[in-house]
Chain A
Amino acid sequence: MRGPERIVVAGASLAGLRAAEALRDQGFDGELTLIGDEPHAPYDRPPLSKAVLSGWLSTDHTVLPRVRDIGARWLLGTPATGVDPRTRQVSLADGRAVPYDRLLIATGTRSRPWPERQGGALHGVHVLRTRDDADRLRAALAAAPGRVLVIGAGFTGGEVASVCRDLGLDVTVTQRGDTPLGSALGGVIGGAAARWYRDAGVDLRLGTTVRTLEGDAHGALRRAVLSDGSVVEAEVAVVAAGALANTEWLTGSGLAADGRGVVCDESCRALADDGTPLGDVFAAGDVARWPHPLYPGQLLRLDHWDNAVAQARTAAHNMVHASRAPLVHRPLPAFWSNQFGVNLKCVGLPALADQVVLTQGSLDQRQFVAAYGRQDRLVAAVAVDSPRVLDGYAALIEAGAPFPPVLNATDGPDRPEPLDPAFPRPADPAPGLPSVAATPSVPSAQAVLAGHE
Chain B
Amino acid sequence: MTTTSATPQHTAAELFAQALRHEHRPNPYPHYEQLLREPIARMDDGNWLATGHREISLLLRDPRISADRLPPPQQRPIRKSLLVEDPPKHDQLRQLVSRQFVPRVMGMRDHIDKLVTDLLDAHISEQPGHLDVVADLAYPLPVTVICELLGVPREDESLFGSLARRLTRGLDPIDTQTEDEIRELQETRAELQQYLEGLIARHDAAPGGDLLSGLMHSQHPEGPMDPIDLRVTLGLLLIAGHETTVNLIANGTLALLRHPDALARLRTDPDLATPLVEEVLRYDPPVQMSGRSTLADIDIAGTTIPKGSRIRLLLAAGNRDPQRFADPDRFVPDRADNAHLGFGGGIHYCIGATLARAEAQIALTALARRLASPGLVADPPPYRENAILRGPESLPVSFTRLSPDNGGA
Do A409 and B64 touch (CB < 8 A)? yes
Do B87 and A407 touch (CB < 8 A)? no
Q: Which of A137-145, A232-240, A389-397, A435-443 contacts B (4 or more CB under 8 A)?
A: A389-397
Interface CB pairs A-B, < 8 A, 15: A359-B63, A360-B87, A388-B346, A389-B63, A390-B61, A391-B346, A392-B62, A392-B63, A392-B65, A395-B62, A406-B297, A407-B63, A409-B64, A410-B295, A411-B88
Do A411 and B349 touch (CB < 8 A)? no
> Which of B86, B87, B349 neighbours the largest number of chain A CB atoms within 10 Å of its CB?
B87
Do B64 and A407 touch (CB < 8 A)? yes
The interface on chain B, measured as residues whose beta carbon lies within 8 A of the other chain's beta carbons, has a size of 21
Do A410 and B66 touch (CB < 8 A)? yes
Select from chain A the residue with minimum beta-carbon distance to B87.
A411
Contacts of B70 in A (CB 8 A): none
B308-332 interface code vs A (CB 8 A; 1 in, 0 out): 0000000000000000000000000
Contacts of A407 in B (CB 8 A): 63-64, 295-296
Name the interface residues of B290-312: CB closer than 8 Å to any CB of A.
Answer: 295-297, 299, 307
Given A395-B58, A407-B295, A408-B64, 11 new contacts (CB under 8 A): A360-B63, A388-B347, A389-B62, A392-B65, A393-B63, A409-B63, A409-B64, A410-B88, A410-B295, A411-B87, A411-B91
Contacts of B91 in A (CB 8 A): 367, 386, 411
Residue A154 at the chain B interface, CB threshold 8 Å: no
Name the interface residues of A342-369: CB closer than 8 Å to any CB of B.
Answer: 359-361, 365, 367, 369
Main SS class of interface, B: loop
The interface on chain A, measured as residues whose beta carbon lies within 8 A of the other chain's beta carbons, has a size of 22
Contacts of B349 in A (CB 8 A): 388
Residue A399 at the chain B interface, CB threshold 8 Å: yes
Do B299 and A389 touch (CB < 8 A)? no
Main SS class of interface, A: mixed
**Taking A359-B63, A391-B57, A399-B299 as contacts, is the C-beta distance between A411 and B347 under 8 angstroms?**
no
Contacts of A409 in B (CB 8 A): 63-64, 87, 295
Do A386 and B296 touch (CB < 8 A)? no
> Which of A367, A399, A409, A411 neighbours the largest number of chain B CB atoms within 10 Å of its CB?
A409
Do A391 and B296 touch (CB < 8 A)? no
**Interface, chain B (partner A; CB < 8 A):** 57-58, 61-66, 86-88, 91, 295-297, 299, 307, 345-347, 349
B87's contact among A393, A399, A406, A410, by CB below 8 Å, is which?
Answer: A410
Do B87 and A391 touch (CB < 8 A)? no
> How far apart sit A163 and B53, CA to CA, in the bound complex (Å)?
39
How close is A256's CB to chain B, nearest CB, in angstroms?
36
Do B347 and A410 touch (CB < 8 A)? no
Do A391 and B295 touch (CB < 8 A)? no
> How far apart sit A50 and B218, CA to CA, in the bound complex (Å)?
29
How close is A310's CB to chain B, nearest CB, in angstroms?
15
> How far apart sit A411 and B68, CA to CA, in the bound complex (Å)?
13
Do A410 and B58 touch (CB < 8 A)? no
Do A386 and B58 touch (CB < 8 A)? no
How close is B318's CB to chain A, nearest CB, in angstroms?
14
Do A361 and B57 touch (CB < 8 A)? no
Contacts of A406 in B (CB 8 A): 64, 296-297
